Amino acid sequence: MTTTKGRPGGYNSVVCIKQVPDTKKVTGQAMKADGTINRAALPAIFNPEDRNALEAALKVKEECGGTVTVVTMGLPKACDILRTALMCGADKAYLLTDRAAAGSDTLATSYILSQAVRSLKPDLVFCGRQAIDGDTAQVGPQIAEKLDFAAITYLEGIEMDGDYAIATRDIGTGVERDRVKLPALFTVTDRFGELRPMDVRRVMKYKRAKAPVENGGVAPEGDLAIGQLSCADVGCEPERCGFAGSPTNVNKIVSVVLAGGEFKEVAPTDEGVAGLVSELMADHTIG
């Protein structure tokens, strides 16, 4: 990434980060009998593409100045990833935790997060492309829609130019470059680059940072404070949060196991390919 011209004061970025169960460590205990995820059986990690999103924000700050604020909506344990973000270079961290948010589907999640982001008045918002547990990739674009920000998905590079960002995005067959007026929201993929390592001095500084909920209800002082927000703090309408604000109905969850079957060798000739196409059309796989 090469950042061109910034602007005086730099850019204020908000990064939405989520703590997720490590789905690479799935074992026999990972699913409950009712088909839902047994979160207790899986280690909780920083959602991989949210690490890339944080790196994007830190690069903009490094090259143009400004601030980076991270926000997560989740249980108090999610403060682990907020501390990691502070140790890597974020300036401020917020935990949005509230019983009123329990049961939120992507619509309610993006509404609550959009209200938190709105209250922070950012120039740039970064999300991961997708969370590895819910896997919908809906939350980032839904936040943008609610804030009336442009949404740029699949970000793999960004340059700043005054009140505009020039985004390089993956379009599958190559890349596209978009010039977008700020404020704007970007969803970031692993092609952006790895999150930088934690800084040793920041590790020492933030290892005792806590949210009030982790500290007997008392907010630690100064740099050690992780901000804590409720749905009401960010002006949410109760009927748009949690179960009340979630129209999604999950009818059934099934565990799909793909097993290898028979295979057929096709000759690398025109006749071989024509035969394969006819077969696929005959059994309606294509056509």
Ligand X SMILES: Cc1cc2nc3c(=O)[nH]c(=O)nc-3n(C[C@H](O)[C@H](O)[C@H](O)COP(=O)(O)OP(=O)(O)OC[C@H]3O[C@@H](n4cnc5c(N)ncnc54)[C@H](O)[C@@H]3O)c2cc1C
List residues near ligand X by CB under 6 A: 16-18, 47, 49-50, 53, 72-74, 102-106, 109, 113, 127-128, 130-131, 133-140, 246, 248, 250
Residue 185 to residue 183: CA distance in whole angstroms: 7
For ligand X, the closer CB: 81 or 160 = 81
Bridge partners, residue 125, by sequence: 14, 185
Q: Which is nearer to ligand X, 16 or 158 (CB)?
A: 16
Write down the least CB distance from residue 137 to ligand X, Å.
Answer: 5
Between CA 27 and CA 38 the distance in angstroms is 10
Nearer CB in complex with ligand X: 204/253: 253
Nearest to 54 by CA among 210, 188, 205: 188
Least distance to ligand X, CB of residue 238, Å: 16
How far is 8 from 229, CA to CA, in rounded Å?
30
How far is C-alpha 207 from the geometric centre of its chain's CA atoms? 23
SS (H, E, C) 185-227: EEEECHHHCCCCCCCHHHHHHHCCCECHHHCCCCCCCHHHECE
Nearer to ligand X, 135 or 237 (CB): 135
The DSSP symbol for 137 reads -
Q: Are 100 and 241 in contact (CB under 8 A)?
A: yes
Q: Cβ 227 to ligand X, closest distance in Å? A: 14
Give the nearest distance from C-beta 152 to ligand X in angstroms. 14
Closest residue to ligand X, based on beta-carbon distance: 134
Contact by Cβ (8 Å): 72, 16? yes
135/163 with CB nearer ligand X: 135
Contact between 197 and 88 (Cβ < 8 Å):
yes
CB of 139 to ligand X, least distance (A): 3
Q: Which is nearer to ligand X, 254 or 259 (CB)?
A: 254
Taking the complex as a whole, the smallest distance from the CB of residue 141 to ligand X amounts, in Å, to 8
